[in-house]
Amino acid sequence: MMESKGASHEGIEAKIAYQTQAAVKTSDGKVSLNDSTLSVSGATVATLYISIATNFVDYKTVGADHEKKAAAYLAAAMTKDYNTAIKNHSSFYAKQFNRFKLDLGKNLEASKLPTTQRIINYRSTQDPSLVTLLAQFGRYLLISSSQPGGQAANLQGIWCNAMYPPWDSKYTININAEMNYWPAEVTNLSENHQPFIQMVKELSQSGRETAKVMYGADGWTAHHNTDIWRVTGPIDFAAAGMWPTGGAWVSQHLWEHYLYTGDQKYLADVYPAMKGSADFFLSSLVKHPANGWMVVSPRFLLSRDRFQQELLWIINWFLISLQEQQKPTGSWTAMRLIVLNC
């Protein structure tokens, strides 16, 4: 058993405590344990079980009994032998992975090379099956790091091996986090989208304070970065951090999931988050002094500024589209976001 806590960061005391528990099963041999070492001797086969749990409950709460959680996980795992665990795991993975196929053709000579060399050669050769390979690799990563009930896939995913990883292993929501989930619906991994959708719903709650305090606006907003605590204010330097359209971008995923599933109950559940994102812009857009356009403020370089305006048109499109759908619950008001001359 090992117990520790997270590292303090930028003056904030660590609050996450965690415990690791381990056990060994063997049909022969000897298992011994002292204060620092677990030893197995004289065994033909030994199966090592490891369980790790934290005191994390949700983005607002810590304080769960991590020792009790770790013990429960370990006890459940030890009811399965190694072969059964492998079989169950492979079956679970295959059920998701095998539901999508992509065939773009094949370059037989190129396919014999190591993947790293194929990537180098791609600039000068035709290797369509490399595209297929990379598409399926992306699906493998999403299946492995984003399952219902867990956290969304972040910058390093479940493979983060550092206490101070690059960019703090957070969610960069001005493209990186969205890119992780672009394959979700179109490659038939709809349930793997759920952790990201849950994160957006939580951001739509925490982001209300940011909208009100920073902008005096209605609804909710988020900037270019968030984390497991669902922060929504500006992070890092101003050129990157002062980007109040993060909520608009992540809200697209709410709508895309509905387009692929047609789930009216789900639509009613996420509608307040989509409407809240639109409410923020309806109450915070300002008139451009030169051309009279209603624009996002603060503004950026031309390319990024144009992109912000395009995000507003996307929100406008899917909220107008909602008016053409059958209302999923009794009395809810579809709203139309009209951005004049954006």
pTM: 0.89
CA distance 303 to 237: 19
Reduced 3-state DSSP string for the chain? CEEEECCCECCECCCCEEEEEEEEEECCCEEEECCCCEEEECCCCEEEEEEEEECEEECCEECCCHHHHHHHHHHHHCCCCHHHHHHHHHHHHHHHHCCCCCCCCCCCCHHHCCHHHHHHHCCCCCCHHHHHHHHHHHHHHHHHHCCCCCCCCCCCHHHCCCCCCHHHHCEECCCHHHHHHCHHHHCCCHHHHHHHHHHHHHHHHHHHHHHHHHHCCCCCCCCCEECCCCCCCCCCCHHHHCCCCHHHHHHHHHHHHHHHHCCHHHHHHHHHHHHHHHHHHHHHCEECCCCCCEECCCCCCHHHHHHHHHHHHHHHHHHHHHHCCCCCCCCCCCCCCCCCCC
pLDDT (0 to 100) of residue 242: 87
Length of the chain: 342
Phi, psi for residue 3 in degrees, rounded to 5: -130, 140
The average confidence (pLDDT) of the chain is 88
**Confidence band of 342 (pLDDT split at 50, 70, 90):** very low
Angle formed by the axes of helices 264-284 and 246-261, nearest 10° = 160
pLDDT (0 to 100) of residue 7: 84
pLDDT digits (tens, 9 = 90+) for 8-35: 888 889 999 999 999 999 989 899 988 8
pLDDT (0 to 100) of residue 83: 93
Domain ranges (residues) in the chain = 2-79, 176-323
pLDDT (0 to 100) of residue 243: 87
In the predicted structure, residue 103 carries a pLDDT above the cut 70: yes
**Confidence band of 113 (pLDDT split at 50, 70, 90):** very high
**Confidence band of 338 (pLDDT split at 50, 70, 90):** very low
Partners of residue 62 on adjacent β-strands? 56
pLDDT (0 to 100) of residue 163: 84
Weakest-pLDDT range from 45-59, 199-213, 274-288: 274-288
Residue 52 or 35, more confident: 52
In the predicted structure, residue 317 carries a pLDDT above the cut 80: no
Partners of residue 47 on adjacent β-strands? 25
**Residue 145's closest CA among 181, 120, 173, 113?**
181
**Confidence band of 324 (pLDDT split at 50, 70, 90):** low
In the predicted structure, residue 231 carries a pLDDT above the cut 90: yes
Cα separations in angstroms, 73 against 19, 23, 49, 51, 82: 12, 12, 10, 6, 16
| Contact by Cβ (8 Å): 3, 17 | yes
State the average pLDDT over residues 325-334.
Answer: 44
pLDDT (0 to 100) of residue 330: 40
| Contact by Cβ (8 Å): 108, 128 | no
CA distance 167 to 155: 8
**Confidence band of 236 (pLDDT split at 50, 70, 90):** confident
In the predicted structure, residue 122 carries a pLDDT above the cut 80: yes
**Confidence band of 299 (pLDDT split at 50, 70, 90):** low
pLDDT digits (tens, 9 = 90+) for 180-203: 999 999 999 999 999 999 999 999
pLDDT (0 to 100) of residue 329: 45
Residue 223 identity: H
Tokens representing 221 are 């907003």
| Contact by Cβ (8 Å): 45, 26 | yes
Partners of residue 17 on adjacent β-strands? 5
State the average pLDDT over residues 208-224.
Answer: 96
pLDDT digits (tens, 9 = 90+) for 82-96: 999 999 999 999 999
* Percent of the residues in the chain that have a pLDDT greater than 70, as a whole number: 87
CA distance 15 to 198: 22
In the predicted structure, residue 341 carries a pLDDT above the cut 90: no
**Confidence band of 36 (pLDDT split at 50, 70, 90):** confident
